[in-house]
Amino acid sequence: MSTISETGQCLCGDLKYRATAQPIHTTICHCRMCQRSTGTAFLVEPIFMRDNIELLAGEPKQYTHKSDESGLSLYVNFCGNCGSKIYQTFERFPEVIGVFAGTFDNPDWFERSPENTRHIFTRSAIKGTVLPKDFTIYEEHTRTLGQTESNEHQILTAHKLVT
């Protein structure tokens, strides 16, 4: 098995990090917080165990956001110089870290397949968003507060255009 060492950084290069393992899975989030945070239609967020992301340079600033859905905190970590968001951690899931995929030096290094990727909060998806065929799609989060993940909230796995 080869050793993984995929690096990333903020826009100005003050914050640098390395992933040392494949993500557990990838979440593509269409919630309003992720839309506002990225300035785009959704966030592509590979999810890692915390000890699989190493900070190599710089010290991020942190913004605490209360989730509109759960009321729990999300901690958005960003560069104090250029403002690039690098990763977020979660009160609800303290063992993991979600990286803003576009900050990787090679944002295509990790797999995005129907087996390891899901779209969440698609009820907030911007009109015209195309949800890919065969991927797991959720209108809300994959879990209700206090529950483990289940497919009971899954709404479809077919190609769909949000209208």
Give the chain's domains with CATH numbers: 6-161 (2.170.150.70)
Span 92-103, average pLDDT: 93
Q: Write the CA distances from 129 to 23, 40, 138, integer angstroms.
A: 25, 11, 14
pTM given for the model: 0.82
> Which comes out higher in pLDDT, residue 27 or 137?
27
Percent pLDDT > 90 in the chain is 53
Give the pLDDT confidence of 62-72 residue by residue, as tens digits.
999 998 777 88
Amino acid 57: pLDDT: 98
CA–CA distance, 10 with 143 (Å, rounded to integer): 31
If you average pLDDT over every residue of the chain, what do you get? 85
Residue 147 has pLDDT above 90, yes or no: no
By C-alpha distance, which of 145, 13, 21 is closest to 92?
A: 145
List the one residue out of 60, 107, 56 whose CA is nearest residue 82. Answer: 60
Q: pLDDT band at residue 159, thresholds of 50, 70 and 90?
A: very low
Secondary structure of 62-125 in HEC code, one letter for each residue: EEEEECCCCCCEEEEEECCCCCCEEEEEECCCCCEEEECHHHECCCCCCCCCCCCEEEECHHHC
Alpha-carbon gap, residue 101 to 53, rounded angstroms: 13
As beta bridge partners, residue 87 has: 77, 99
Mean pLDDT over 25-48 rounds to 92
